[in-house]
Amino acid sequence: MPSTNLLKTIAKMIDHSLLHPTFTDKTIIEGCELSKRYGVATACVKPYSVSLAADILKGSGVGVCAVVSFPHGNSTLSIKVKEIEQALRDGAVEIDAVINPGKVLGGDWNYVSNEINEMNEFTVSGNALLKIIFENDYLEDHHIIKLCEICSTHNTAFVKTSTGYGFVKQQDGSYNYKGATDHHLKLMREHCGQNIQIKAAGGVRTLDDVLRVRTLGVTRIGATATETILEDAKKRGFV
C-alpha cells in the first residue's frame, strides 16, 4: 500500500506546463484552474501570461513559474535579466531560464558561467528560485557535466534537462527529441552538489515515469499530463 501523503508528494513534484505557443488565454486559465485543483508545485507559463496566472493562483499554494529566453536561450544576458525582472514583478516565484546552447557547444565557459551567475543572483535577490535549462538533446555528456559543475558553483536551486522543444534534425530529415533520459538524469545527479535539485522535463508522461525518475533523484518534473498522472495515482490508492 502506498505511504500516506504520497499523492501530495507526487503533486508537489509537478510544474504543470502551459508553454505551447498555440495556447490561448482560455487554455492558460483552464490549466491554472487544473493546477489549483490538483495542488501542484507551480503552473509554468509563458512570460506574457505570468500576471494572469498569478491572479488565478493567488492564495492557492500553487506558485507561478515563468520561462526566460524560451525555448532557444539565445537572448543577450541583459534581456534575460529584464525578462526575470518583469516576471518577478508580475508574480512569478520560480524562473526556468535557458542557457545559450551555442556558447556551451563552443566551449565559452566564462560566458556561460557569468550568465548563470548573474541570472541566479538577480532571481535570488527577488526571493525566487532559478532553474537552469540545459537542453540536453543538443549536448554531449562532457557539456552536461561542466554545466552541473558551474551551477553547483553558483548554487542555483535547480538544473533542468530540457525545454520540451529542443528538436534535433534526424537522418531522415524529421525532427525529434528525447527529453529527460535516465542516463542524463543520473549524470546530472552525480555531478551536481547535493543541494542542487534536478528537474526532469520532456517525456515524463505517466505515473510510472514519475516514480522512475524520482528514484534517480529527481524532485521536480515538467508535465502536460498532470491530470493523467495524478488520477492514475488515485486509482492505485495513493493517499
Distance CA 177, CA 53 (A): 28
Q: Where are the domains of the chain?
A: 6-235
169 flagged as catalytic = no
> Architecture of domain 6-235 in CATH?
Alpha-Beta Barrel (3.20)
15 flagged as catalytic = no
Q: Torsions phi, psi of 168, nearest 5? A: -115, 135
Q: Counting beta carbons within 10 angstroms of the beta carbon of residue 26, is it exposed (0 to 12), middle (13 to 18) or buried (19 or more)?
A: exposed
* Strands 63-68, 94-98: pairing kind: parallel
Q: Residue 132: which residues within 8 A CB-CB, separation 6 or more?
A: 97, 99, 116, 119, 120, 147, 151, 156, 158, 159, 160
Per-residue pLDDT in tens (0 to 9) along the chain, 239 residues: 455 589 999 999 999 999 999 999 999 999 999 999 999 999 999 999 999 999 999 999 999 999 999 999 999 999 999 999 999 999 999 999 999 999 999 999 999 999 999 999 999 999 999 999 999 999 999 999 999 999 999 999 999 999 988 888 887 888 778 889 999 999 999 999 999 999 999 999 999 999 999 999 999 999 999 999 999 999 999 98
Among candidate residues 80, 131, 146, 199, the one labeled active-site is: 199
Among candidate residues 15, 80, 90, 96, the one labeled active-site is: 96
208 flagged as catalytic = no
